[in-house]
Structure 1
Amino acid sequence: MKKNMGSTDKIIRILIALVIVGLWYKEIISGTIATVLGVFVIIFLLTSLISFCPLYSMFGINTSKKS
């Protein structure tokens, strides 16, 4: 499993996850949409943590500066 995510990509994913968590906390989103977005939050945080996105490898995308 080669790293295929750069630092900018990871920061963007973390910021999106924080926004979604904030919307949930303020009860702006709830119900099914909150559950679906919660799954995305988990995926975004996990992929940012390990610097690997399976979809990127399927499509041959690499945002990491190291090749």
Structure 2
Amino acid sequence: MTNNVGMLDRMIRFMLAGVLLYLGTSVYSGSALGIGLDVIGAIAALTGLFGFCALYSLLRINTRKADQTPQA
């Protein structure tokens, strides 16, 4: 598993995950929409944490610059 998510992309994913998890757990809690937002938020947070996105891999997208050291 190679890192294919760059630093800016990771920061955006973490911010998006925070918003989605907030909406899913407080605003829409207990509903199907809330559960869906929580799942999407958790996926965004995990892909940002590990630096790997399976969808990027399938589409052959790489936002990580060559000089960025892999962090995981």
Structure 1: tracts of 5 or more residues without a match: none
TM-score, structure 1 length as denominator?
A: 0.86
Matched residue, 2:56 = 56
User: Deviation of residue 11 (structure 1)?
Assistant: 0.6
Identity %: 38
SS at match of 2:27: coil
| Pairs within 5 Å for 1:36-47 | 36-47=36-47
**Counterpart-to-counterpart distance in 2, 1:35 and 1:21:** 9
Q: Distance in 2 between matches of 1:66 and 1:51?
A: 14
RMSD of the TM alignment (CA)?
A: 1.5
Matches within 5 A, 1:1-67: 1-25=1-25, 27-30=26-29, 31-66=31-66
Read off the aligned partner of 1:40 and give its amino acid letter. Answer: I
Q: Which residue of 1 aligns with 2:70?
A: none
Name the CA distance, whole Å, in 1 between partners of 2:20 and 2:42. 11
Counterparts of 1:49 and 1:24, CA distance in 2: 20
Distance in structure 2 (CA, Å) of the matches to 1:24 and 1:41 = 8
Unaligned runs of 5+ in 2: 68-72
CA drift at 1:20: 1.6
